[in-house]
Amino acid sequence: MTLEIVGMTVLWTFLFGYIIVGAIDFGAGFFNAFSIITKKQHILSNVIQRYLSPVWEVTNVFFVFFFVGIVGFFPQTAYYFGTIFLIPGSIALILLAIRGSYYAFETYGNRGHKGYAFMYGLSGLLIPASLSIVLTIAQGGFVSMENGNPTLDYYALFTSPLSWSIVVLSIIAVLYISAVFLTWYANKTGDEKATGLMRKYALIWALPLIIAASGIIYELRFHNPAFYNQILDLWWMFGLSFLLWIATVLLIWKRKKYGLAVWLLIIQFALAFYGYGISHFPYLLYPELTVYEGFTNQAMAISLIVTFVLGFALLIPSLYLLFRLFLFDKRYVQGKKPKEGDN
Amino acid sequence: MMLFDDPVFASRFLTLLTLSFHIIYATIGVGVPLFIMIAQWIGIKKNDDHYILMARRWARGFVVTVAVGVVTGTIIGLQLSLLWPRFMELAGQIIALPLFMEVFAFFFEAIFLGIYLYTWDRFEDQRKHLLLLIPVAIGALMSAFFITIVNSFMNAPQGFDLINGELVNANPIMAMFNAAMPTKVAHVAVTAYMTVAFLLAAIAAFQLIRGSNHAYHKKALNLTMKVGLIFAIAAAVIGDFSGKYLAEYQPEKLAAAEWHFETEEGAPLVLYGYLDDDNEIKAAIRIPFALSVLAFGDPFAEVIGLEEFLPEESPPLIIHYYFDTMITIGMFMIFLSLLYWIGKTRNWAFIQSTWYRWLIVLGAPLSFLAIQAGWWMAEVGRQPWILRGIMTVEEAATTSDYVGLMSIFFLLLYIILGVGTVVVLRKIFKNNPVENELASTQGGDSK
Ligand code: HDD
Ligand code: HEM
Ligand code: HEM
């Protein structure tokens, strides 16, 4: 493996991590707001709050990791994407800011405040939508070089069916991933009503998900045939992903093994996501920038990788502790007080 | 308007806006964990509920500011690429390492903060819970450490060669340990602790002014003023070292800050004043030899004047005011907290007086102003360079036409976030005064 590929794999993995934990987080915020509006709050809020509170900041770091890492490994992306991403990037940032802070305002300060809950619920859906635009841009066709500076053709971008399908997919994926996860989590808390409701949401979003995903592959055929052909070469990854999707839906349908369903879902998305990434290789931005041209110098690459390994050695035990205390601790999950007599 | 016509100006404006806003929360983020730790530690040691409650209440407010710190930090992190793409393209090759390390520091901090906040009652032994704070405090300090390294690199770039515009022989470690790093990192860390000490002192003093005579507030005031004094002195000492760094490596910044136009030996320190139309200094206080002492620790040393630099490479003279603001506030805070300490040991009555407590309340906004002034002096004083001697701000900025528009949106966002923070913090503490909380813990269980 060359250093370029190591770097790209690390970054792609973190992006994947962000997509999964972010989707759970964003979707949970949305379901929370939705349940307040539809007056089903009593069913969901507890489950969602108990999961979200300790982890939301961790979710955000995944995102920061990705954009700091990509500038480190591929400094030229700062130039290309930085110049063209100003508007969608700024919108995403504003939404992220509203979401993060209003989440905290509601949770720590003003529990049950409808306006706050609504704000962070809605912004959570729009964030993936605005961030996903970067994937569309990276497929090429929307960027031209003017006076040596990359410029984005907003008209083409906003009228392209491809960009809208990607936006739609990102929203549906958020809802689906989050619903499946929360079905499992609610089930663990022993809350049957919440489990039932989340299960219903998971099933509702399952079919739209697969339709949107297939739609994108279909659009790509016209938009970027080279990329499309590379995707076809990796048909088995996408096929396997599809089979896992069926398996997940079946488990949820039959109310069986929700934990396994979550794992299958993660693998399903991983296969599709890495399949997509591999097909995109070696381009970072079609056709201007490849992984090889954009790569940093040897010394920086090696120091980043060493830092990454050391940093990870530090994080794994800490993350393990976090999950053990909050995700897998029976008493916490079920909302029981840790021991009697404390307040 | 320049904001809408000139991407360079707009990018500077937006960077100024975002950083100035983030730095408020970042300072709190660096400082508060240390004080929670101190309070909780004293509480455990003396078996005093007041200090434990202090730690709890500070932590409760802290989560709100952390949230805004995290989102504004995320904004500035991505904005660096959005607004300064050419700079990040070049600098990414050499100074990405500390930025990357910073992310791990955040990660570490975020995980343990999450654990700490939700485990107040999970440990039988309170000391174990206190242990969880150590990674939070270290993580926050490390974040400041790494990001300040990036900033010091911009002031004193090293660790690479530029050949035909290509960056070669990169040595990321050498780039990190640049000449500006030691003083800058130390000054930033110490001033963050100092500012947070006076912030917490101001809250306690305010409660006392409002008529609460509870021992809780007195203990809080006593603790924070004393720790604040230590850090205020440290800030001045390290600030002096920062001046010596400037004299050696960025003499143009020091000269501009001091309106020191002609190279001379035994240079005086110019405080306050203004410039008339002929660039003559008016109404200023001159302290003989003091600039030479600040610059080299020797009253007769020669200090380089602005005349030796090209006009287009000289920093704006306005930084003089920023410098004065910072130093004045620094000295004032040392004086104020020293007075408290002496007054306390000698039982002077006036430290209990309302007017003195109002001064302490004033100390919080002043300390934050000093932080802002310090950064404006450091950053504006680097002009026209973004990477001193290598790349100008003009070359680095984005060419996109929409920065002005985005600046308006971000301005609105910061207003909303700023107001939101205040509203939420007030609500948390107003509905839950110390007296009630103490009554409920003492009545309820036997902790
Ligand atoms: C509470 C805040 C505070 C206080 C009281 C002081 N400073 Fe400061 N100063 C900062 C907060 C700050 C800062 C915000 O942290 C800066 C901005 C950039 C940096 O490295 O630290 C800074 C920068 C800074 C610089 C510029 C460094 C550079 O550009 O590289 C100098 C020369 C000083 N300081 C000197 C002093 C002196 C002599 C002080 C005497 C009392 C002092 N500071 C008090
Ligand atoms: C470490 C914390 C930092 C703080 C608190 C800070 C603070 C500031 C402030 C207050 C300004 C406005 C000055 C002006 O209007 O001229 C500024 C300008 C700027 N900063 Fe920094 N800075 C920091 C680090 C950085 C870093 C790491 C970068 C880039 C990677 C950066 C890039 C810039 C740029 C490009 C400007 C615009 C210069 C200009 O205003 O013309 N800063 N910064
Ligand atoms: C150019 C300058 C800066 C950049 C790019 C930057 C970047 C960031 C980012 C991305 C975050 C969010 C991390 C997360 O998701 O958890 C953050 C938060 C934070 N930053 Fe900044 N930062 C800058 C300046 C500073 C300075 C000067 C300090 C310290 C003096 C600082 C201290 C912190 C701290 C302590 C946090 C954690 C949040 C909190 O506790 O409030 N940052 N910063």
Residues B193 and B212 in one domain: yes
Q: Whole-angstrom Cα distance, residue B315 to residue B255? A: 9
Residues B26 and B43 in one domain: yes
CA atoms within a 13 Å half-sphere pointing along the CA-CB vector of A9 = 7
Q: Could you tell me the end-to-end alpha-carbon distance of chain B, in angstroms, rounded to an integer?
A: 62
Q: Which run of H or of E encompasses A152?
A: strand A149-152
Chain B: closest CA distance from residue A197 (Å)? 27
Residues B55 and B72 in one domain: yes
Whether the CB-CB separation of B65 and B91 falls below 8 Å is answered with no
Residues B78 and B186 in one domain: yes
Judge: A322–B111 Cβ closer than 8 Å, yes or no: yes
Tokens of A337: 């007080």
| Residue B1 domain-assigned (yes or no) | no
For residue range B180-199, list pLDDT tens digits in order: 889 999 999 999 999 999 99
Q: Could you tell me the CA-to-CA distances from B120 to A62, A334, B58, B109 in Å, in that order?
A: 26, 18, 13, 17
CA B420 from chain centre, in angstroms, equals 22
For residue range B147-189, list pLDDT tens digits in order: 999 999 988 888 778 887 777 777 888 878 888 889 999 999 9
| pLDDT value of residue B202 | 92
CB-based contact, B439 to chain A, within 8 Å: no
Give the number of whichever ligand sits closest to the CA of residue B150: 2
Contacts of B415 in chain A (CB under 8 A): none
Share of chain B above pLDDT 70, in %: 96
Residues B297 and B393 in one domain: no
For residue range B199-246, list pLDDT tens digits in order: 999 998 888 888 777 788 888 888 999 999 999 999 999 998 888 888
Smallest CA-to-CA distance from B390 within B178, B230, B197, B136 is with B178
Cis bond before residue B7 (omega within 30° of 0): no
Amino acid (one-letter) located at A90 = S
Beta-carbon contacts below 8 Å between A and B:
230
Entry field: residues in chain A: 343
| Residue B283 domain-assigned (yes or no) | yes
Smallest Cβ–Cβ distance between B170 and the set A101, A104, A300 belongs to A300
| pLDDT value of residue A51 | 66
Radius of gyration of chain A (CA): 21
| pLDDT value of residue A112 | 64
Mean pLDDT for A32-57 is 73
Q: Whole-angstrom Cα distance, residue B324 to residue B339? A: 22
A192 Cα–ligand 1 center, Å: 58
CB-based contact, A314 to chain B, within 8 Å: yes
Measured from the Cβ of residue B128, the count of other Cβ atoms closer than 10 Å reads 11
Q: Whole-angstrom Cα distance, residue B410 to residue B214? A: 42
- Boundaries of domain holding B281: 264-303
Judge: A343–B441 Cβ closer than 8 Å, yes or no: yes
Residues B332 and B393 in one domain: yes
**Residue B446 three-state SS:** coil
Chain B: closest CA distance from residue A50 (Å)? 10
The set of residues, in sequence order, having a beta carbon less than 8 Å from that of A257 and lying 6+ positions away, is: A251
DSSP symbol at B267:
P
Mean pLDDT for B370-385 is 90
Mean pLDDT for A230-252 is 84
Entry field: residues in chain B: 447
In A128-157, the residues whose Cβ lies within 8 Å of chain B are 149
Residues B190 and B285 in one domain: no
Residues B299 and B335 in one domain: no
| pLDDT value of residue B229 | 93
Residues B175 and B104 in one domain: yes
User: What are the extents of the domains in chain A?
Assistant: 3-333
Residues B17 and B132 in one domain: yes
Structurally, chain B folds into a number of domains equal to 2
| pLDDT value of residue A339 | 42
| Residue B65 domain-assigned (yes or no) | yes
Residues B342 and B270 in one domain: no
| Residue B447 domain-assigned (yes or no) | no
DSSP string, A50-108: HHHHHHHHHHHHHHHHHHHHHHHH-HHHHHHHHHHTHHHHHHHHHHHHHHHHHHHIIII
DSSP string, A308-341: HHHHHHHHHHHHHHHHHHHTS-HHHHTT--SSTT
Residues B283 and B359 in one domain: no
Q: Could you tell me the end-to-end alpha-carbon distance of chain A, in angstroms, rounded to an integer?
A: 55
